[in-house]
Structure 1
Amino acid sequence: MKKYILFLFYILAMNVHCQDISFALDSIHKSPGTDHDKLEIYYELLDSYKEQKNYTQLGYDAHLLAKWILREKDRPLAIKIVKMAYEAREKADPPDPELLKRSYYNYANYNKYSGNITEALEYFKKVIEVSKTDYLKGRANAIIGECYESLDDLYKSIEYQLKAFEYFKKNKKEKYIISNHISIAITYTKIRNEIGTKKAVQHLLIADSIIKNGKKPNALKLYYIYNNLANLYQKGSGIIDVEKGFDYYTKALEIINNEKVMSEMQFIHYNIGISYIGIDSILSRQHLNQALLHTTKDDAYLANIYTGFGYNAKQNKEFLEAQEYFRKSFSLFFNTKIPDIYWLPKTEHMSVLEDKAYFLELLKRKMHTWILMGKRDRNLEYYQQAIHTAYTCNDLIDYLLKENISQESKLFWRSLASEIYIIALDACHASNNIKDAFYFMEKSKVLLLMQDVSKTKINIPDSVLGREYFLKNKIINLHNELINTKENKKDSISSLLLDRKTKLQAYKDSLTSYYPEYFTSTELPTIISLEDVTLPNNEIVIQYSMAERVYGVAPETYGMLLSNDKKKLFKIDSLKKFEKNIYKLRQQLNKPFNTSKEIEEYKKLSNIVYKSLFPKEIRSYIKNKKVTIIADHILNYFPFEALITDVEKNTYLIEETEINYEYSLSFKEQNNSLTRKTSKDFLGIAPVEFPDKLVSLSKSLKEISEANSYYDGELLSLEKATKENFKKEVNNYKIVHLATHADASDSLNPWIAFRDKKLYHLELNTLKNNADLVVLSACNTSLGEVRRGEGVLSLARGFFKSGAKSVIPSLWSTNDKATATITSDFYKHLSEGQTKSAALRTAKLNYLHNNTDAEASPHYWASLVLIGDSGTLLPQSNNLLFLWIGLGLVLVLIILYILFLRKKKK
């Protein structure tokens, strides 16, 4: 009978013409039994199409069969069959893009729900390539966004969700526009910073407006909007408004009560319960219990609810109870029995976590709970548990940073890492654990710099160059700004238009020259151990760690002193006041002193900052020593040597101590290990005159000429000081000196000015330099923007990324006459054999002691600082001279010895 049925279907298949699905397929489907039961017959039919090379019909039938198999809940088999469909449609003659995109779409979607995200991404992108339908392109972009979110690549997710709007708006698909606004708001929320929070609110309010203006408002979508807005106003960075948050919760709860949407009850009550923590503990527990009532024991959301109970108990100082709730959460997160509150997941557990940011937050709370227990009970074991938890957080962050995610998403995870490490330092300080404190301090800085520094650059497919799309998008947006400006403000557009055009050109330049650096390996950089730190008797290292906000407040700042016989971890208290003092001090350094009152104000404030940064117990260690400062966050904004150590004597720190700066000791070791080969000593660049209405720097040519008198080389001045000439020559010189305009604080794209055009920060990644020293005697070359997870962005860091061993940048706009005096003196002493840091200190002290009143202001002499290697740097001519002198001395000794032997024989 079976053979008869197969024969009948063969006849039908042979006589079928390319219609939608074949009569044969339809007949098999309608025959008794499940589609799984009839698979052998289906495969015989599909094989017959292959033999006939009837790829069009094969595509039709396989595509529909995959749908039927999916209904019977066999997704792996559905994936296999729909793959057969798209492969057939790729071979069809003529090919039909509209049919092909459907099979690509289904194949991608089936893989997405099977957890094969990488495969899904590839084929959703193929949908966009072949589709001519705006709606489907929009859906594909939106789902690609969902995929990247599941891979914890939040910025890549946002990139594609924004792209989806373009297609939905063209097709006027209002319901998808609303859903996309809600979806992208949730993604922005997960970024957990002020910009992300405000963007999330913006998208939710737009969705709310569209729904209310529609004919039939969708109640459930309004609920999602109100629930998420409530969460943001309760906990979001920069916009907290508790009363407004509870108003939105009330609206959301009213909607789901009216609609009787029981499936959402657990979520809304959990959110309200979390929001009442710290406000009303009893109400918090009531809502968490309501959430629990609407959750089954098999529900994955139960882990979140137990976490909420843990947060509530922690707030009430019921610490053991909190740890017990965290244990229950762990059991559910990892679907395993957790034996006790001390258990922590291993690296191999990380892959099963869906919301890794949420779990990292849970670990952070658990760690902080251990610290609070330690402080209450004065129990060192609890501090050790906090440190163990910090290392687990560290493992999770490492796991994420090894993934192929966008640079922006890596910055997000680094920002969370900085919070973890600063909490860990609290436990280390309380337990006097220097070894682990050193690791956390180093790791936080290494993540900011060393992951961006690579010995080799490799080509990466366009699919992972997320920055390229970002820049293109910026060009489009700025172009639209230009158009709107011309249309709407014709009477007063000149200055604004110039600014926009400058920005637009910056992005275009960045696009043509910027290629992000990726490692050839996913291995994270090595952290130097405390045991490996060896220092001469006269050298001290002081390292600082800061973080922006933890639990919505500024945490303590920690410092560590290292010498050959002393290791001490200390804490800087009253941080809010300390931060204000730093910003005020930085403002005072921006200009010279004009009155005695200004001098006295600076002396007083500077001494307060000095005493905060160098507590009494460490001051005696730094006097008359060479001190390496490893700053952090806003501590990068000012030169430590300009601090006043004694108000009565008006003594600056530079007068007592030789200072240089490093990014981290691990980076120092890595950077010094790089091989640098140069054929020439000195390259000086001084355009003198500039485009874009930048003022002339009349002393800059003298500045590089005097340096050239100590170090032979080439001067690119006036018309020769072009951007292209610099890029062509920079790789060949041991010293590169740029006497020009620059601005690292430009939030668009930091730049260095040349005679013809600007070189932007992003372009430094495409350059290779072998410089032992780069001098940036220009404006604001080290004072960059502080970004969460990325430290201070500056042109100095850009030169380190491109290969420099040490950099002398400027912290503020300098007086070119004073700078020329100091740099000339610096090169004189450097060429005579002083180290870089000693030569710079000598030059600054000479200037300070040779000037009085306003001319002696630190504004004039303190701007230039040395970052990186502080060793000697003799001119090659001096090296040859010393070589000949040495050979001459050897020859003289040989002659004297021969004469002595002859005399002895006589």
Structure 2
Amino acid sequence: MKRTFVKLFFFGILLLFYSNLNAQNLREYYGNLNVLNANLNKIEYKVDSILNSAIKTNNFNDAIYISHHFSLKRYKLGEINTAIKYGKKEIIYYEQQKILNSNYANACYNLGRFYYKKSDYQNAIQIFTKVINVNSNSQKTAFSHGELGRIYDRLGQFYSAIDNYKKSINLLEKKGPSRFLFFNYVNLAKVYDIMATKKSYKKALKYFTKAQNIVETKGLKYKNLLSFYNGFASYYSNNETFDFKKAKKYHKKGIVLATIYQDSISLSTIHLNLGYIYLKQEELANHNVKDSLFYHLEKSKSFTPSFDNDKTIKSRYYSILSDFETYKKNYNQALIYRQKALETNIPSINKVDVVPSLLDLKNSNDQHFLIGTISNKANILDKMFKENGNPEHLKLAISHLKVADSLISYIQEEGNEERSKLFWRGEASYVYAKAVGISHLMNKPDLAFYFTEKNKGIILTEGIRDNTENKLPKQIKERQRLLKKQMLFYENAVKKADTESLQKVKQNLFFDSKQKYQVFTDSIKNVFPEYTLSKVSSSIISITNLQETLDENTSLISYILNKDDTKNPTLHGLIISKSIVKIFNIKKPKNVINLISEYRAIISKPFETINESNYFNEVSNKLYLALFPNKENIPSLLKKKLIIIPDGELQYIPFEALIIDQKSKQYFIQKHQINYAYSASFLTYNNNIKRKYTTNFSGFAPVSFKHNNLSKLKKSANEIETIYAQVGGQQFLREEASKANFLTKASNSEIIHLATHADASKNPWIGFYDNKLEAHELYASNISSELVVLSGCDTSLGEIIPGEGVMSLSRGFFHAGANTVASTLWNANDKSTAIIMAEFYKNLKRGLPKATALHKAKLNYIETANLSEKAPYYWAPMILVGDGENIIYTSLSFKFLYGIGLLVLLLMFFFFWKYTRIRH
């Protein structure tokens, strides 16, 4: 026994020695290869042979070492496909051995970089996510978040880019200033710069400043420093933040640096950017800078072959020339240059009259630039038509805008991040408004209607579809809802954080919850593909189908406002009735916007003097004449009932209170019944949802509040009690009007009525007795009521997102599943609101449709109120959004007639049956 043990021991020693020798031989053999050999096929064959030998002898350490080394060497030679092939092998070897340590994370990180270099972004996302999930190397995790930021930036999913950059920054800041931290500061600032809003510009400056602090304290590589100079110069080149001296200063620093390193590509880019700021200087400050502009453009062009071989530089060169010629009104030359910019990116588009295909645009690495280029080409063609009247220019312009629309839809469908979708809705708004203007010139109202609808409420419709359709198992749907609720909670917490340190903590929690939600959503796509197919972009209702839904007494009027072109904003209206479609142009949109501001300022408070009343009448009448021009034409097309789809600032005003005649002082409401909608497509889709209820009415009136130092609403309890006495159901007063009761007992009510405080500021909320319900909570709720009445303050107000609508509490209830929402445009007077609401419900109980019930309630108030309380301030804030025609309560007379009709049918059937029996 002892002898056997000794033999086995020595055999083990020999085996171990042989294994080490074999390992040494394999590595030595690989080391003796010339891995930089130009003959790739030959060297690959030898490396594959070594790897096969290693795997056959279970020598995974050598296999990992060799595949790792070889992939990096070929990557440095620019052989990306070969690098990917061996990078994948390395990861497979790790996973076969179930080794998921920091070395594995490093291998994944390298492969992610290879995929990024190849522009294979989907595979890169998967691999960098692996690094993060391993979570064994905090540095590589931070770097991976930074790389994901770059990828999402390229894909146009800017908020996902921001989240990843911030996560990377939070991890890297713990270790102090570094090159990678600087890199993320600059890249994050650039994303905020692209988003081009007042808020985003402030954030861009914040992160550029942080990057500048690292420049001053730590030595940086040339490329990083140059990226910073270019980024900061770009920040000072925008319309909103334009500072010619500062932009020029940073570009000059970049030139000095690029000259030292003889970087011709960077020198060409910087001179191009200098040309751009000279053009801006001429446009904004009216300076004659033609010589300087052309000097820098030609200087940029002189750096060949860099200029000729770089599509980005070349296309921007032609774009700047096109902008200059457009500014000088040399439209033919402007079109030629814009065409060259497009052709540089897509060589097959080699003639002015050739329209790129969606496939051409999908394959581009800079879709954001292409949308702008195509839109600008259409804009030039539009200007050319106005000069020479050639209709072919309009046809070509609309063809380009159609393909831009297709690309925007593709980008939105590819992404699943709602904030990025909202950004693209804003970008698309210019395209759609321009298309409506051209459709007007072409006299194509059907086309104008399509683009008007594309400009409104698409994401809301998709959200409602996601929230209300039941194509997923109940437990899956509930898990998805809870994850979404958690994500929205932390997103809101980030907004409310009042210190930078707290914001970082909340940002991390938000990011983690968002990752969980997205992983779960992605798993749904794999397991339930039919659910994914049902969520494709909501279809736009055709104008013919819409007309079929309208009765003879109803018109729909939709507005579209374009403020992107600050010098020449446009405003169009579209009237649709059963038999008529008409598009019209509203002149002087700037004046209209100013009138809206004046109108809203004076209407949202009581009149204290006759002069104030007269001033209101004057402003209100001017606004009416502007919005319904051509007295003999447009107003005559309007039916008794109107569905109004406003846009931009028009969403902040009640059309009911417009004065249609200054002499008689007749209000618009006295001639027309009005309800509002986000879009015709949204209205149709939402009204077709099947809703189920367990109770007919749930009313809430907290009266007093335990939070936010809110004042008492003494008359609110009377408001609910009066309605409850009329319609029954359930009422929750004072401490019973709690947030928990609302969420658990009101969600299945046909009508929900909230008589309470509300806030439409940065973080909208509705007050209950014990706590407030924040808007984000509605987006993870299911409240499929037929009617929600928000008898609070400003419940229809919020931030306007171009191309989508107002982000209000009202919108939150629609997202939760409501069909109609009655909400307010300013601080409602509780006394007059209670009177109008009591009459509103009385009318509903009589069997009147919702819009008619509110219309008659307001008219009754105007006729019966004291002179001092007749001002629109008292009766105009409450508006009805959504379906206005459904009847909630069937009247007794209707029930009686229905019963008589049923009895007659039964008698007819009885006599028919008896007659047939006698015959037989």
Q: Which residue identity is paired with 1:546?
A: L
Deviation larger for 411-420 or 382-391: 382-391
Q: Which residue identity is paired with 2:316?
A: N
Secondary structure (helix, strand or coil) at the match of 1:557 reads: strand
CA–CA separation in structure 2 for the residues paired with 1:456 and 1:467:
18
Secondary structure (helix, strand or coil) at the match of 1:616 reads: coil
1:111: Cα distance to partner? 1.9
1:845: Cα distance to partner? 1.2
* 1:263-282 alignment, distance < 5 Å: 263-277=265-279, 278=283, 279=287, 280-282=289-291
Are the counterparts in 2 of residues 189 and 197 from structure 1 also a CA contact under 8 Å?
A: yes
Q: Which residue identity is paired with 1:150?
A: R
Which residue of structure 2 lines up, in the alignment, with residue 581 of structure 1?
595
1:841: Cα distance to partner? 1.2
Q: Which residue identity is paired with 1:231?
A: S
Taking structure 1 as reference, are residues 32 and 451 closer, same or farther at Cα in structure 2, changes over 3 Å only? Answer: closer
Secondary structure (helix, strand or coil) at the match of 1:304 reads: helix
Unpaired segments ≥5 residues, structure 1: 1-10, 486-499, 902-906
Could you tell me which of 65, 81, 86 is aligned with 1:81?
86
CA–CA separation in structure 1 for the residues paired with 2:56 and 2:909:
97
Q: If the length of structure 1 is used for normalisation, what is the TM-score?
A: 0.87
1:752: Cα distance to partner? 1.6
Q: Which residue identity is paired with 2:679?
A: S
Are the counterparts in 2 of residues 681 and 875 from structure 1 also a CA contact under 8 Å?
A: no
Could you tell me which of 52, 66, 70 is aligned with 1:61?
66
Are the counterparts in 1 of residues 698 and 753 from structure 2 also a CA contact under 8 Å?
A: yes
Are the counterparts in 1 of residues 319 and 338 from structure 2 also a CA contact under 8 Å?
A: yes
1:765: Cα distance to partner? 2.3
* 1:354-373 alignment, distance < 5 Å: 354-373=365-384
CA–CA separation in structure 1 for the residues paired with 2:41 and 2:103:
25
Which residue of structure 1 lines up, in the alignment, with residue 114 of structure 2?
110
Deviation larger for 125-134 or 803-812: 125-134
Could you tell me which of 803, 806, 815 is aligned with 1:792?
806
* 1:118-197 alignment, distance < 5 Å: 118-197=122-201
CA–CA separation in structure 2 for the residues paired with 1:728 and 1:224:
54
Could you tell me which of 673, 683, 697 is aligned with 1:668?
683
1:219: Cα distance to partner? 6.1
Taking structure 1 as reference, are residues 375 and 619 closer, same or farther at Cα in structure 2, changes over 3 Å only? Answer: closer
Secondary structure (helix, strand or coil) at the match of 2:377 reads: helix
2:425 is the alignment partner of 1:414: yes
Q: Which residue identity is paired with 1:273?
A: G
CA–CA separation in structure 2 for the residues paired with 1:426 and 1:549:
14
* 1:29-40 alignment, distance < 5 Å: 29-31=31-33, 34=37, 36-40=41-45
CA–CA separation in structure 1 for the residues paired with 2:342 and 2:515:
48
Q: Deviations over 1:146-166 (max 9, x none)?
A: 111222211111211122222
Q: Which residue identity is paired with 1:302?
A: K
CA–CA separation in structure 2 for the residues paired with 1:482 and 1:355:
33
Taking structure 1 as reference, are residues 754 and 512 closer, same or farther at Cα in structure 2, changes over 3 Å only? Answer: farther
1:247: Cα distance to partner? 3.8
Are the counterparts in 1 of residues 179 and 220 from structure 2 also a CA contact under 8 Å?
A: no
Secondary structure (helix, strand or coil) at the match of 2:724 reads: helix
Q: Which residue identity is paired with 1:175?
A: R
Taking structure 1 as reference, are residues 181 and 669 closer, same or farther at Cα in structure 2, changes over 3 Å only? Answer: same
Are the counterparts in 2 of residues 633 and 786 from structure 1 also a CA contact under 8 Å?
A: yes
Taking structure 1 as reference, are residues 834 and 98 closer, same or farther at Cα in structure 2, changes over 3 Å only? Answer: closer
Q: Deviations over 1:676-719 (max 9, x none)?
A: 22243222222222221222222222222222333232222233
Which residue of structure 2 lines up, in the alignment, with residue 810 of structure 1?
824
1:316: Cα distance to partner? 2.5
Which residue of structure 2 lines up, in the alignment, with residue 329 of structure 1?
341
Secondary structure (helix, strand or coil) at the match of 1:814 reads: coil
2:746 is the alignment partner of 1:730: yes
Are the counterparts in 1 of residues 452 and 560 from structure 2 also a CA contact under 8 Å?
A: yes
Which residue of structure 2 lines up, in the alignment, with residue 387 of structure 1?
398
Taking structure 1 as reference, are residues 448 and 592 closer, same or farther at Cα in structure 2, changes over 3 Å only? Answer: farther
Taking structure 1 as reference, are residues 85 and 624 closer, same or farther at Cα in structure 2, changes over 3 Å only? Answer: closer
1:382: Cα distance to partner? 1.4
Deviation larger for 618-627 or 198-207: 618-627
CA–CA separation in structure 2 for the residues paired with 1:352 and 1:13:
54
Secondary structure (helix, strand or coil) at the match of 2:779 reads: helix
1:548: Cα distance to partner? 3.6
Which residue of structure 2 lines up, in the alignment, with residue 759 of structure 1?
773
Which residue of structure 2 lines up, in the alignment, with residue 3 of structure 1?
none
Could you tell me which of 889, 893, 896 is aligned with 1:875?
889
2:321 is the alignment partner of 1:309: yes
Taking structure 1 as reference, are residues 73 and 22 closer, same or farther at Cα in structure 2, changes over 3 Å only? Answer: farther
Could you tell me which of 544, 565, 583 is aligned with 1:531?
544
1:57: Cα distance to partner? 4.0
Q: Deviations over 1:804-834 (max 9, x none)?
A: 2211111222122211111111111222122
CA–CA separation in structure 1 for the residues paired with 2:89 and 2:733:
66
Are the counterparts in 2 of residues 606 and 644 from structure 1 also a CA contact under 8 Å?
A: yes
Taking structure 1 as reference, are residues 213 and 48 closer, same or farther at Cα in structure 2, changes over 3 Å only? Answer: closer
Q: Which residue identity is paired with 1:305?
A: Y
Secondary structure (helix, strand or coil) at the match of 1:821 reads: helix
Could you tell me which of 52, 55, 59 is aligned with 1:50?
55
Secondary structure (helix, strand or coil) at the match of 2:798 reads: coil
Are the counterparts in 1 of residues 100 and 134 from structure 2 also a CA contact under 8 Å?
A: no
1:365: Cα distance to partner? 0.9
Are the counterparts in 2 of residues 517 and 765 from structure 1 also a CA contact under 8 Å?
A: no
CA–CA separation in structure 2 for the residues paired with 1:895 and 1:121:
70
Could you tell me which of 610, 619, 629 is aligned with 2:644?
629
Q: Percent same amino acid at aligned positions?
A: 29
CA–CA separation in structure 1 for the residues paired with 2:517 and 2:176:
36
1:533: Cα distance to partner? 3.0
Q: Which residue identity is paired with 1:227?
A: N
Q: Deviations over 1:741-797 (max 9, x none)?
A: 222x2212x212222222221221222233221111111111112234542111111
Q: Which residue identity is paired with 2:337?
A: Y
Which residue of structure 2 lines up, in the alignment, with residue 226 of structure 1?
229
Unpaired segments ≥5 residues, structure 2: 1-13, 523-530, 916-920
Taking structure 1 as reference, are residues 891 and 364 closer, same or farther at Cα in structure 2, changes over 3 Å only? Answer: closer
* 1:196-235 alignment, distance < 5 Å: 196-214=200-218, 216=219, 221-235=224-238
Q: What is the aligned length? A: 864
Deviation larger for 124-133 or 661-670: 124-133
CA–CA separation in structure 2 for the residues paired with 1:38 and 1:307:
46
2:733 is the alignment partner of 1:717: yes
Could you tell me which of 849, 874, 893 is aligned with 1:860?
874
Q: Which residue identity is paired with 1:308?
A: I
2:503 is the alignment partner of 1:481: no
Q: Deviations over 1:436-482 (max 9, x none)?
A: 111111110143532322143766999x9899678647747866739
Q: Deviations over 1:52-81 (max 9, x none)?
A: 444344333332233344355443333232
Q: Deviations over 1:392-431 (max 9, x none)?
A: 1101101111102421211111111101111222222333
Q: State the Cα RMSD in Å.
A: 3.6
Q: Deviations over 1:260-298 (max 9, x none)?
A: 432212111211222333453343233222222214333
1:32: Cα distance to partner? 6.0
Q: Which residue identity is paired with 1:444?
A: N
Which residue of structure 2 lines up, in the alignment, with residue 5 of structure 1?
none
Which residue of structure 2 lines up, in the alignment, with residue 826 of structure 1?
840
Secondary structure (helix, strand or coil) at the match of 2:237 reads: helix
Deviation larger for 120-129 or 244-253: 244-253
Secondary structure (helix, strand or coil) at the match of 1:145 reads: helix
1:537: Cα distance to partner? 2.8
CA–CA separation in structure 2 for the residues paired with 1:390 and 1:734:
43
Are the counterparts in 2 of residues 514 and 765 from structure 1 also a CA contact under 8 Å?
A: no
Q: Deviations over 1:156-198 (max 9, x none)?
A: 1121112222232223342222222222222222223333333
CA–CA separation in structure 1 for the residues paired with 2:378 and 2:266:
31
1:36: Cα distance to partner? 4.9
2:792 is the alignment partner of 1:781: no
Taking structure 1 as reference, are residues 779 and 190 closer, same or farther at Cα in structure 2, changes over 3 Å only? Answer: same
